[in-house]
Chains A and B, each alone.
Chain A
Amino acid sequence: MADELPGLDHAVLNDDDQRQLYRLMVAVRHLDESAIRWQRQGLIPGYAPELGQEAAQVGSAYVLDMSRDFVFPTYREMGVARTVGVDMVEYMATHKATWHGGLYDPVASRFAPIQAVVAGSVLHAVGWAHAQTMDGTGGAAITYFGDGASSQGDVHEAMNFAAVMKAPVVFFIQNNGWAISVPTERQVAGGSVAARAAGYGIPSLQVDGNDVVAVAKATAAALAHARSGKGPSVVEAMTYRRGPHSTSDDPGRYRTLEAERADAGEDPIQRMRAHLTAEGLADEAFFGEALADAKAEEERIREGIINLGSRPGTEMFDFVYQEPTTALKAQARAWREESEHV
């Protein structure tokens, strides 16, 4: 039998925390919607929106201890990146086709390079986490993936490895209902990724992914479990991909607007806003300020994106090896002589 996770009241989110969660979600929502516009305006060639997943991303990232934890993202974790303080121009560089992994320093950011391979980094999280056990850092890895990625064999291997080694890793699934055009019921047998954890003896939680406070508390419990030496756990945040898979996708081909409205659930930002209002934690002035801040931030990031030049072509060669081969140096020389354009 799997160990129980610590109680969900383990994480204390005070009033300031709750207001900050709201501000972060508004910033992420505005930036996400802006990035789609940037693509339509030719500023970036493509983008993978996370509209509707703000609570899952902000809530889970907010409780990380970035002095010792490490994030393993996919290509749809802009909200996580923003929450843990990754430079957003350097993050968006991946969507501007400047550099595949983004331009931020993954070591300093404690945020692994953006990963285009579905389920590509799940095993990495296990390896990194096991190293924390050996080094006694108390750090935990959090690996993000979706319902689609859960079909990949690597995810099963990762869960088994982590359980066998009691690696301090949180498998954080955003079950957003869709893997491009394929709905969860055609993707995940049994309808739940969390349920699979039992087979590996891993405790798991399924949480309302549109409730930012609930997500934060669940993730905090999973992190506490990891730090206490009990190993991995699975948190499955049930949410909804309100937008297309990417800016070149057309959801109209596989789901109707009516179905979207019916299935999307509660808007995570409206929900938090209602909560803050009901609890007397925020007023209209606060909400207005949060949006204004988000817009100002987007202006800065947009400006940064526009001014972000291409990387020099020499960098194609610079980062292949720590110790470049003679043959590669010769290719770089030939390239400079024959086709240096940038």
Chain B
Amino acid sequence: MSEHTTLSDLEAARNNTRDAAAQLESVETIESASDGQRQIPAADAPATEEPADAGPAIETLSMQQALNRALSETLEADPKAMVLGEDVGQLGGVFRITDGLQRKYGENRVFDTPLAESGILGMSVGLAMAGYHPIPEVQFDGFAYPAVNQIICQVGRMNYRSRGKLPMPITLRVPSFGGIRAPEHHGESLEALFAHVPGLKVVSPSSPHEAYHLLKFAAGRPDPVVFMEPKSRYWQKGPVDTAGTGYSPEGARVVREGRHLTLVAWGAMVARCVQVAELAAEDGIDIEVLDLRWLKPIDAEALAASVTKTRRAVVVHEAPLTSGLGAEVAALITQHCFATLKAPVERVTGFDVPYPSGDLEDEYIPNIDRILFGIQRVLEYRRG
């Protein structure tokens, strides 16, 4: 079994233990890991193995399956929900997220559009004005650019323009971020762009469990939500507690508790930060990992609570540094924790360069060493 699957399992198991089933056996694994004994499940531990007392609601799903399930249940429960986009119908989407939905719910509710992203979003606005709850897909992050005019000028403003008479219950799914050696415009991180637009909300899941619940939650909101799916994490499997016992889809979430420093991340970077935290534990540094989840609104209270405790913070994202969301996170932490912070908030991010071709992806995306360097800078910082 490859390393990333194992870590995904660990991370997903951790998500579950924190939120849903504190009694799960894997709690011990997690807690001992944070004590510096790095305990990754054995390499041959099957991903499908469920904790003995997990109960029937826990299933092992990939994020692709979890999203598909969430969409299906949304279409089932909400007769006004509909899925539209390029190749989402018979093909089931290029990542198979909408697989089988058209067969199940018909061509009126799950349909292929012509190849025009501005058209997809503009049409969604009209559908929403007519009382529907569109869940449009933009096939890849970079394909959202042609739709930016509709997203900013229409999706984000119609509620305001109409004095609340024309809400925009649109969940825009965008396969996002990098890491899959794809062509140009298939690896972009647009969260800062979306988060900057008044009227939009932005969320990104980091695991199958989060994906399932956050998508169902987002699709039920009366406001537009940009749902950024980390496409490099589509296929790793992890436990999903479909009952969602004790799960809250709002705000940020601690995925690993720690005392010395807070790593803030979202999407695919959460798993990497958990890796880093395990490595840091070998050096006696106890790191808390905070999955921000909601990139707008940002859970400032969760940031404050975590950093008040750890007094140090590093924020990690794939998007370029300048005017990235890390700047917003740093500002919020500084505002809330200025008196007790031991060091300025460090940002470990992509560079201010266009997202590179596959060969250079690993040079661009924050890697373990760069995150460790960022942590070290914070640890070394001395006032005065």
**Contact between chain A and chain B defined by CB under 8 Å:** yes
> Roughly how many angstroms separate A99 CA and B358 CA in the complex, as a whole number?
8
Total number of B residues with any Cβ neighbor in A under 8 Å = 41
With A181-B87, A182-B112 known as contacts, the answer to whether A341 contacts B362 (CB < 8 A) is yes
Interface size on A, as a range, is: 35 or more
Q: Which residues on the A side are within 8 Å of B78 (C-beta)?
A: none
- Distance in angstroms from B51 CB to nearest chain A CB is 35
> Roughly how many angstroms separate A253 CA and B100 CA in the complex, as a whole number?
11
Interface mask (B98-120 → A, CB under 8 Å = 1, otherwise 0): 00000000000000101110110
- Distance in angstroms from A149 CB to nearest chain B CB is 7
- The answer to the question of B89 belonging to the interface, with a C-beta cut-off of 8 Å to chain A, is yes
B352 touches A327 (CB 8 A): yes
A311 touches B90 (CB 8 A): no
> Roughly how many angstroms separate A187 CA and B87 CA in the complex, as a whole number?
11
Q: Which residues on the B side are within 8 Å of A118 (C-beta)?
A: 115, 143
A152 touches B181 (CB 8 A): no
- Distance in angstroms from A222 CB to nearest chain B CB is 24
With A117-B142, A313-B360 known as contacts, the answer to whether A181 contacts B185 (CB < 8 A) is no
A316 touches B367 (CB 8 A): no
Q: Which residues on the B side are within 8 Å of A45 (C-beta)?
A: 181-182, 358
Given contacts A148-B115, A338-B370, 7 further A-B contacts (CB under 8 A): A46-B181, A97-B181, A118-B143, A181-B112, A182-B86, A315-B360, A320-B353
With A181-B89, A254-B90 known as contacts, the answer to whether A328 contacts B359 (CB < 8 A) is no
- Distance in angstroms from B102 CB to nearest chain A CB is 11
- The answer to the question of B7 belonging to the interface, with a C-beta cut-off of 8 Å to chain A, is no
Give the secondary structure class of A's interface.
Answer: loop
A100 touches B369 (CB 8 A): no
Q: Which residues on the A side are within 8 Å of B146 (C-beta)?
A: 117, 152-154
Residue of B nearest to A314 (CB): B363
Which of B89, B182, B351 lies in contact with A316, CB distance below 8 A? B351
- Distance in angstroms from B375 CB to nearest chain A CB is 12
Interface mask (B202-241 → A, CB under 8 Å = 1, otherwise 0): 0000000000000000000000000000000000000000
Most chain B CB atoms below 10 A, which of A151, A254, A316, A320: A316
Interface mask (A5-31 → B, CB under 8 Å = 1, otherwise 0): 000000000000000000000000000
A254 touches B115 (CB 8 A): no
Residue of B nearest to A151 (CB): B114
